[in-house]
Amino acid sequence: MTVAGIAAQTAFHIDAVRFAVGEWALLGPVSLELEDLRQRWN
C-alpha cells in the first residue's frame, strides 16, 4: 500500500471515530432523558 493510501485510510478512520463520538456525545444525554421518562411512565 502507498503512503498516500495509508494516510487516506487513517484519515477516514479518524473521521469515522470522531463522527461516532460526536453522535454518542449528542445522543447520550438524549437517550438518558428518554430512559428517565420511560422509567417514570412504568
pLDDT per residue over 2-29, tens digit each? Answer: 998 988 899 899 999 998 888 888 888 8
**Cα distance between residue 7 and residue 30, in whole Å:** 35
pLDDT of residue 26: 82
DSSP secondary structure of 1-42: --HHHHHHHHHHHHHHHHHHHHHHHHHHHHHHHHHHHHHHH-
pLDDT of residue 23: 84
pLDDT of residue 21: 87
pLDDT of residue 13: 92
**Cα distance between residue 38 and residue 42, in whole Å:** 6
pLDDT of residue 22: 85
Strands (DSSP E) contained in the chain are none
